[in-house]
Amino acid sequence: MNEEVNSLVELLTDVGNFRKINEDYVDYYTDETKRIYIIADGMGGHNAGEIASKLAVENTISYINSLPELDDLELSIREAVLDSNRKIFELSKSRDELNGMGTTLTGCLIKGGEMVVAHVGDSRCYIIRDKAISQVTKDHSLVQQLLDEGSITESEADNHPNKNIITRALGTSSTVEVDVTKLDIKGIEKVILCTDGLSNLINEQELYDIVMKSDDCCAELVELSKSRGAKDNISVIVFEGEWRDDR
């Protein structure tokens, strides 16, 4: 992570109420030409999930930084995530205790007026623009699948017993489908990336209110999740969309 404190970025990751190991990982990188923000929620026995999420985040950032040009942001972030998938999958096959490990990943790459979001799993990206919050990503989860099919209602989805089952992850197969969304950054005030330890317990209006009004929004979001009995690790990163100086 950048050594210098960036006043335009807030992040926090917390083990939560019950887990012994934090299998979430979050990091970012900024330089004169680009900004990269990534969050991941690992899974697997022992500490394998912790290894998968850290590898996913660090490798995706380093892959993007290794590219000589960033002419096509969508292609660049997709290739970076696919490279991370291959590395996690190969590592999982190399040691028995890592077999079956995987991770979600939601990442954001910004250059100039363009922003792209890459997404695998159920970690989320939200944006705040025009005094409203909207979810950019769509969960790759069993519950989302049931919602899309019309098998369950939104209220049933909120309390579904299989809410933690994801249908897509990095590292569980030699290849993976990566959703990439391209956005015009103009007018985007804030971008929020979070793991399901937060999004399962805090609704969009609460997320909006805390991010826009709190001086320490990440800590407030994590504490609210924990006060509601969060069973999972909780991670969140909040950053500026369009630079203040550019508005």
Q: Is residue 133 scored above 60 in pLDDT?
A: yes
Under a CB-based contact definition with an 8 Å cutoff, are residues 77 and 118 in contact? yes
Domain boundaries, the chain: 9-240
Give the homologous superfamily in CATH for domain 9-240: PPM-type phosphatase domain (3.60.40.10)
Tens-place pLDDT, residues 107-125: 999 999 999 999 999 999 9
Under a CB-based contact definition with an 8 Å cutoff, are residues 109 and 116 in contact? yes
Is this prediction's pTM over 0.85? yes
Cα dihedral 144, 44, 224, 25 sign: negative
Q: Considering the chain, what percentage of its residues have pLDDT values greater than 90? A: 86
Q: Considering the chain, what percentage of its residues have pLDDT values greater than 70? A: 95
Phi, psi of 75 (to 5 degrees): -65, -40
Smallest CA-to-CA distance from 99 within 44, 55, 54 is with 44
Tens-place pLDDT, residues 146-182: 999 999 988 898 888 888 899 999 999 999 999 999 9
Q: Can you tell me the distance from the alpha carbon of 212 to that of 215, in angstroms, rounded to the nearest whole number?
A: 9
Q: Can you tell me the distance from the alpha carbon of 229 to that of 221, in angstroms, rounded to the nearest whole number?
A: 13
Q: Can you tell me the distance from the alpha carbon of 118 to that of 25, in angstroms, rounded to the nearest whole number?
A: 16
Phi, psi of 165 (to 5 degrees): -85, 120
- Confidence band, pLDDT 50/70/90 cuts, at residue 7: low
Tens-place pLDDT, residues 62-103: 999 999 999 999 999 999 999 999 999 999 999 999 999 999
Q: Is 247 helix (H, G, I), strand (E, B) or coil?
A: coil
